[in-house]
Amino acid sequence: MTYHGSVIRTAYLRAYLPSSVVLGLPPHRGDESAVVKSSGAFLWQESTTDDAIYTTWQGSQYVCPRNTRLRMVEGILAFAKTNPGLPLLTEAERLAYVAELAELRRASRHARGYILSSAWHVPLRWFAAFTKPEREIYDLDGQSSVRYRTSVGEAIDRVHWAGTVTAEAGFSEGVVARLQQLENWLVGHEPESMIELDYGTTAREFSDGTLAFDESADDIRQSLLALEAGDYETSGEAYQRVAMRWADAQSYTFSN
């Protein structure tokens, strides 16, 4: 089944390795079609070819293996585990996907998920890994988009700090757990990795002028700094700025 004309605007959090570490993967040439495809338990719109995204950061070349099928299988198993009450998979199907995932992971030492994706919006916790100077506007198919880039070590330290601050401030277990899950994902990558938050096509929800003044990562950081200092009013104001900025885009997630 194919949904012609349907496009899911997507943001990404990617981990890149130095290109000298990953050999033999061809560069990703872009997806041939923007249509959303469906088969069985899966819904996707990107190519499932085994290739990689290449980029340059701080004068060096980096590569992000896409491992699309592996990410699809990881995602369906994680969703089924998180929502055991939903009749998503039969036990036989679940075991088949578990076996497929094990086979995919044996195929290469780089067979893991280097990409997290989010439909329609950037999850606000992702911004905790970055600071204002790491932000840049770039051209994506003739339209403006935004990305942040930093080292995996910096990202881990910042997300760990965010988790500590929110936990000590008495935030719910769910909020803290999501930050801890993000930290665990970051920790799983090699120490020389670069981490990129890419608005991707979710940036099309905003005008170029709005993107130019979008400082979501800085708003999150200012909110956390104020929270750590016990200034709940300033913390709430900073968080409200970024939450309102993404509210309309995030609402598409729940309406779909």
Neighbouring residues of 7: CB distance < 8 A, sequence distance ≥ 6: 34, 35, 36, 45, 201
Higher local confidence (pLDDT), 21 or 222: 222
Higher local confidence (pLDDT), 138 or 106: 138
Neighbouring residues of 194: CB distance < 8 A, sequence distance ≥ 6: 15, 16, 57, 62, 149, 150, 151, 152
How confident is the model at residue 108, as a pLDDT? Answer: 75
6-28 pLDDT, tens digit per residue, is 577 889 999 999 998 887 777 77
- When pLDDT is averaged across residues 136-144 and rounded to a whole number, the result is 92
How confident is the model at residue 182, as a pLDDT? Answer: 97
How confident is the model at residue 256, as a pLDDT? Answer: 46
pTM: 0.84
Q: Decide if pLDDT at 215 tops 70.
A: yes
Q: Are 238 and 222 in contact (CB under 8 A)?
A: yes
81-132 pLDDT, tens digit per residue, is 777 777 777 888 888 888 887 887 777 777 788 999 888 899 999 999 999 9
Question: How many CA atoms, within 13 angstroms, populate the side-chain half-sphere of residue 35?
Answer: 9
| Residues linked to residue 57 through DSSP beta bridges, in sequence order | 60
Neighbouring residues of 182: CB distance < 8 A, sequence distance ≥ 6: 125, 126, 128, 129, 159
Alpha-carbon Rg of the chain, whole angstroms?
A: 19
Tokens of 208: 């170029």
- When pLDDT is averaged across residues 190-205 and rounded to a whole number, the result is 95
| Residues linked to residue 62 through DSSP beta bridges, in sequence order | 18, 55
DSSP of 9-76, one letter per residue? -EEEEEEEEETTTS-SPPBP---S---EEEETTEEE-S---S-EEEEEETTEEEEEE--HHHHHHHHH
Higher local confidence (pLDDT), 36 or 191: 191
51-91 pLDDT, tens digit per residue, is 889 999 999 999 999 888 888 887 788 777 777 777 777 88
| Residues linked to residue 196 through DSSP beta bridges, in sequence order | 14, 149
Q: Decide if pLDDT at 163 tops 70.
A: yes
Share of the chain above pLDDT 70, in %: 88
Pairwise CA distance, residues 123 & 127, whole Å: 8
